[in-house]
Chains A and B, each alone.
Chain A
Amino acid sequence: MKARKKVGLQSMVFSRPVAILSSAACVGPLEGAGPLQGSFDVVYPDLLIGAKSWEAAETTMIKEAVEIALGKGSLSTQSVDYLLAGDLLNQCIAANFAARDLGIPMLGLYGACSTMAESAGLGAVLIDGGFAQYTVAAASSHNATSERQYRYPTEYGGQRPPYSQHTVTAAGALLLSNGLHCQSPMPRITHFTVGKVCDLGIKDPFDMGSAMAPAAADTLLRHFADLALAADHYDLVVTGDLAYVGHAILKELLHQSNLDLGSRLNDCGLMIYDRHEQPVFAGGSGCGSSAAVLCGYLLDMLSSYTIKRLLLVGTGALLSPVTYQQGETIPCVAHAVAIEMCHDHLADEELR
């Protein structure tokens, strides 16, 4: 029996676009000083935030992002049905320890840097499937926690190549709802395309952009094909953290497949930092990249009607320090979430 809400090969359409009631973005000092300053709810003064470790600081960040999003949506933690969250750390400790403190039933997720898109998509699925009235989707990353886990101690004097990226210190949270009580226009998730894990043989853990671009291209092309969309359907298509190198490669890959998005294509890792003024090499990376940019700036753009249709393509590199040391290549995944500024059409019909 055909799945009613499946479109094409890898995409889902929501029978009732899932409302994003509120959002919150909490970032570190470098992000707070970047081009998107002013769009964040909290800018922390340093990386430790008075916690006893970097990991505890990241837990604080993601917890506060959820709390602020709930506050803006006038909801308590008890009213939230499920929390879907993840981060870059082994065993997703930041998200899981935050969930412990929040007390919301928790679905931990790991999509590496694509976790924000993954959690938003799945949070919408739970709501549109009638399994939940309110879900919270959240993701975080922290420069120091990911450096010490994936690469080197933070005070190590190793030299990073110019194509490497700077892991974003940020957390973002979305409060999703079936919006039955709210018919006015708001950003709503309309579609979710789940990506396949792609691997074109990149091994260098400093070259994340090159590793992730094929997955981004694969999911993007799949999304446009599944939904039979024209290239100008979205006002903005934003990848999570391809940064300078990955973004350039993606443009070429899309061009080779005759999908030309032109200036509609951008990348959160390029938006969150000023590459020329800040010491970030090729740009930002990490769950926090797409989380902070989506949960602040991009949703603001939607709410203010600067753009009407947005496609977020979260991109994640699925390596671990173990696979790297064992000489493996880097498989990657990308998930696409379509968000549109619209009102609840079905509610109109129900009222009639």
Chain B
Amino acid sequence: MVGSKARKKQLQRKDYQQLSAQKRLKIPVWRNTLVAFVVGGLVSVLGQGLIFFYIWLGFKEEQAASPMVATLILIASILTGLGVWDYLGQFAGAGVGVPVTGFANSIVSSAIEFKREGYILGVGGRMFQLAGPVIVYGAVTAFVVGLIHALVQWL
């Protein structure tokens, strides 16, 4: 009795999920992917331009990526602060979210939003709410890869 009730509930849920998928407004995947490709590409082109600019300023070629990343972070931070970035993000999705600009926006938007909860606990404590996973898993990956490399070398 209990088993058949549970199965009936599962079927009801499955049918409903199908109905819901049918009626749901569809995500324009082609449009989103194309826009993300073009905008992401343009952000990278901007980055490349900045690299040449810093080389011209005197940086060595290998060192120019650092100030380039910092510049993109600065641009994204200011546009976030001006209240423009959320519109850009809605339009371009991963096109601005996947480059380092997205990382910057997640940090700056959190810092600005939680300012009202104070500078220590709000800004300081919640700044990495959205960007934290990237740092955590990046560091863990680097640690594991480093260990594997050491192991492979030792063998």
Q: Do A and B touch, yes or no (CB under 8 Å, in the complex)?
A: yes
Q: Give the B-binding residues of A (Cβ under 8 A).
A: 52-54, 148, 152-163, 200-202, 207, 210, 213-214, 244-245, 248-249, 252-253, 281-282
Please judge, given known A-B contacts A163-B25, A244-B25, whether A152 and B109 are in contact too, CB under 8 Å: yes
Please judge, given known A-B contacts A156-B106, A245-B24, A252-B23, whether A201 and B17 are in contact too, CB under 8 Å: yes
Q: Is the beta-carbon distance between A200 and B23 smaller than 8 angstroms?
A: no
Distance A163 CA – B88 CA, assembled complex (angstroms): 19
Q: Is the beta-carbon distance between B13 and A201 smaller than 8 angstroms?
A: yes
Choose from B20, B88, B90 the contact partner of A202 (Cβ within 8 Å): B20
Distance A159 CA – B27 CA, assembled complex (angstroms): 11
Residue B58, interface by CB 8 Å: no
Residue B96, interface by CB 8 Å: yes
Please judge, given known A-B contacts A159-B32, A200-B12, A200-B13, whether A153 and B113 are in contact too, CB under 8 Å: yes
Main SS class of interface, A: loop
Q: What B residues does A210 contact at CB under 8 A?
A: 20, 23-24
Main SS class of interface, B: helix
Task: Closest B residue to A211 by CB, please name it.
Answer: B20
Distance A249 CA – B130 CA, assembled complex (angstroms): 33
Q: What B residues does A201 contact at CB under 8 A?
A: 13, 16-17
Q: What A residues does B12 contact at CB under 8 A?
A: 200
Q: Is the beta-carbon distance between A159 and B17 smaller than 8 angstroms?
A: no
Q: What A residues does B116 contact at CB under 8 A?
A: 52-54
Closest chain-B Cβ to A215's Cβ sits at a distance in Å of: 12
A207-B24, A244-B25 known; 5 new pairs, CB 8 Å cut-off, are A54-B116, A158-B89, A161-B27, A162-B26, A282-B25
Closest chain-A Cβ to B13's Cβ sits at a distance in Å of: 4
Q: Is the beta-carbon distance between A156 and B105 smaller than 8 angstroms?
A: yes
Task: Closest A residue to B21 by CB, please name it.
Answer: A210
Distance A281 CA – B90 CA, assembled complex (angstroms): 12
Within 8 A of A (CB), among B19-48: 19-20, 23-28, 32
Please judge, given known A-B contacts A155-B80, A163-B25, whether A207 and B20 are in contact too, CB under 8 Å: yes
15 contacts between A and B (CB under 8 A): A53-B116, A152-B130, A157-B80, A157-B88, A157-B90, A157-B96, A161-B27, A163-B24, A201-B16, A213-B20, A244-B25, A245-B23, A249-B19, A249-B23, A281-B25
Q: What A residues does B27 contact at CB under 8 A?
A: 161-163
Please judge, given known A-B contacts A155-B113, A156-B130, A162-B26, whether A214 and B86 are in contact too, CB under 8 Å: no
Please judge, given known A-B contacts A207-B20, A248-B23, whether A156 and B28 are in contact too, CB under 8 Å: no
Choose from B23, B25, B96, B112 the contact partner of A153 (Cβ within 8 Å): B112
Choose from A157, A244, A282 the contact partner of B97 (Cβ within 8 Å): A157
The 0/1 profile, CB within 8 Å of A marked 1, for residues 132-146 of chain B is: 000000000000000
Choose from B25, B105, B110, B112 the contact partner of A245 (Cβ within 8 Å): B25
Task: Closest B residue to A279 by CB, please name it.
Answer: B90
